[in-house]
Amino acid sequence: MIVNINIGLLGHVDSGKTTLARALSTIASTAAFDKNPQSKERGITLDLGFSAVVVEAPSRLKSLAPNLEQVQFTFVDCPGHASLIRTIIGGAQIIDFMLLVIDSQKGIQTQTAECIVIGELLQRKLIMVVNKIDLLEEATRAAQLQKLNGKLRKTLAQTSFDSDSTIFNVSALEKINIEVDLFYLLNIFLISHFVIQDLLDNIVSQVEIPKRNKDAPLVMYTDHCFSIKGQGTICTGTIVQGSVAVNDLVEIPAIKEQRKVKSIQMFRRPVQTAAMGDRVGICVPQFNPKTMERGILTQPGYLNNVYAACIRINPIRFYKFAIRSKSKLHITIGHDTVMANMILFKSVNNKPTEEFNLNDEYEYVEELEPTINSITEDCIFALLEFQTPILAAENATLIAAKLDLDAQSNCCRLAFWGRMLWCTHANNYALEVLPIFKVFKHKSKQGFIQRLVNEHEIIVENLFSKQGNREIYLGKQVVLSTGETGVIESTFGQKSKVKVTFMNALRPETLNELKGGRFGSVKVLLNYKKYIFNKQLSLVQ
């Protein structure tokens, strides 16, 4: 048996991810090592690159899975350029283990921090790879590396990663950390292979057999799509859930069509079946590949277009800006990114976290202060209304970001993440009847006592404006600044006066003030709920 483990290479632009992937791999896929012509031209990785190496399964893993013979590491080379963060997020969601590549001369850079956040929120294990150590002055190299490693440990300590995570110093191009003699004798390719061999051993010693949910409905994130004359359309990608076999019927939601699987390949080897975690190329009868450069293949009928979703917010502490209700953010699910309008709210009576019920009333939250260096314990939810529907499975993870921030501004653009707790989707067969969803804001109005009628009754003025419907306030509670609670019984007159009655007689001190004509010293407060959101969530925008 062979098990596939996806290793993501993430890091700031030019830190050496592609060089490292090349050095680690013996098998290249159709999309490896910056094959994209634009990539070659610009010298940066524009798309995800896939390559692999197969190693003997370590005894540690064999003891867990006795018929395990080999482990295939599929390296997912993510782009580093800031403008390609969507591709990075999409790529990160298919990885099991993360190599965070850091340029030894530059240390932690903006996209390094963003990649840490992505790895953290997807709860991946990590090795930090300090690359290009050949560029450090030989005389001071050890000291510099010690200093940088110390800094990286400090950064790790502020994250949810294990602060003992391995930090590995390499040069993907030069001999460093390899026996000197070998370097002089062997050519660059062999040397880089040796350098990497150490790192590879290290990866082998740390990986776990990923938990795969092979029985769930198929979801495959496709990253490339092309046609081969006479054969069909090939979709390459990673199965993130379930499994697929030759002759299975799969759906291409982007074109709302179904196709029978003609053949499956894994790194050019034909296979009959593939399952969660595998990187595959699936050949189906012809469709226009341009309609789905990047997308999803699923079990027919499984995924739906989601129009609105509710999540519990997990704020990202590097994000320096306030997160505001009624603002827009970019939401990424899988490889797709759309804009969404957002309303923030929280439970009225501190309910346990993660629990969300459409039938409950929630309190509006205007904004969430930046949580830099502290993780909020509050349970804040967000209702996200997508500007264009997005395909998503139930409880999908989504990432909210402010992608229109200048990529050069050195700010983390990732704002928060969460799992979908609830969503509206257009099911082809039935339309759900949704309850009216209510989010309110506490408001208060202040009025003045105009007259004391008796110890159970007062007349209040200026509580309301002259216009407007006052009837809705009948029966509502008011509180005096002296503490007594009464009820609005009627409203009357040109000046919008109201009669307030008290079940218990007013306190002697209050009566003294009022009888002495000191009306101004007692304030009347009306606390009420204003509904910010009070509607049935529609399926069609």
Residues near ligand GTP (CB under 6 A) are 11, 13-19, 44-45, 79-81, 131-132, 134-135, 171-174
DSSP string, 206-264: H--PPP--TTSPPEEEEEEEEEETTTEEEEEEEEEESEEETT-EEEETTTTEEEE--EE
CB of 15 to ligand GTP, least distance (A): 4
First to last CA, the chain: 49
CB of 35 to ligand GTP, least distance (A): 13
Q: Are strands 397-401 and 414-425 parallel, antiparallel or unpaired?
A: antiparallel
> Is the Cβ of residue 72 or residue 112 nearer to ligand GTP in the bound state?
112
CB of 9 to ligand GTP, least distance (A): 8
CB of 135 to ligand GTP, least distance (A): 5
CB of 47 to ligand GTP, least distance (A): 10
> Is the Cβ of residue 46 or residue 344 nearer to ligand GTP in the bound state?
46
The encoded tokens of residue 283 equal 């050949």
Identity of residue 313 = I
> Is the Cβ of residue 197 or residue 521 nearer to ligand GTP in the bound state?
197
Q: Which residue shows structure tokens 């006592």?
A: 449
| Residues sharing a CB contact under 8 Å with residue 189, sequence separation 6 or more, in sequence order | none
CB of 385 to ligand GTP, least distance (A): 34
CB of 82 to ligand GTP, least distance (A): 10
> Is the Cβ of residue 72 or residue 192 nearer to ligand GTP in the bound state?
192
CB of 81 to ligand GTP, least distance (A): 6
> Is the Cβ of residue 18 or residue 93 nearer to ligand GTP in the bound state?
18
CB of 280 to ligand GTP, least distance (A): 24
Q: What is the dihedral of CA 414, 420, 423, 428, to 10 degrees?
A: 100
> Is the Cβ of residue 49 or residue 315 nearer to ligand GTP in the bound state?
49
How many other C-beta atoms lie within 10 A of the C-beta of residue 467?
7
> Is the Cβ of residue 129 or residue 310 nearer to ligand GTP in the bound state?
129
Residue nearest ligand GTP by beta-carbon distance? 80
Q: Please, which residues bridge with residue 249 across strands?
A: 260
Identity of residue 244 = V
CB of 104 to ligand GTP, least distance (A): 8
CA 189 to CA 172: how far, in whole Å? Answer: 9
> Is the Cβ of residue 128 or residue 390 nearer to ligand GTP in the bound state?
128
> Is the Cβ of residue 173 or residue 203 nearer to ligand GTP in the bound state?
173
Cα–Cα nearest to 273, from 488, 532, 1: 1
CA 60 to CA 305: how far, in whole Å? Answer: 43
Indicate the burial class of 2 (C-beta count within 10 angstroms; 0-12, 13-18, 19 or more).
exposed
The 3 state secondary structure assigned to 394-436 is CCCEEEEECCCCCHHHCCCCEEEEEEEEEEEECCCCCCCCCCE
The one-character DSSP state at 138 is T
CB of 191 to ligand GTP, least distance (A): 11
Which helix (H) or strand (E) is 157 found in, with range? helix 141-157
DSSP string, 24-84: H-SEE-TT-SS-SHHHHHHTS--S-EEEEEEEEPPHHHHTTSTT--EEEEEEEE----GGG
CA 444 to CA 482: how far, in whole Å? Answer: 16
> Is the Cβ of residue 174 or residue 385 nearer to ligand GTP in the bound state?
174
Rounded to the nearest 5 percent, the helix, strand and coil shares of the chain are 20, 40, 40
CB of 369 to ligand GTP, least distance (A): 33
> Is the Cβ of residue 80 or residue 334 nearer to ligand GTP in the bound state?
80
The encoded tokens of residue 51 equal 């390559």
The one-character DSSP state at 471 is G
> Is the Cβ of residue 410 or residue 512 nearer to ligand GTP in the bound state?
410
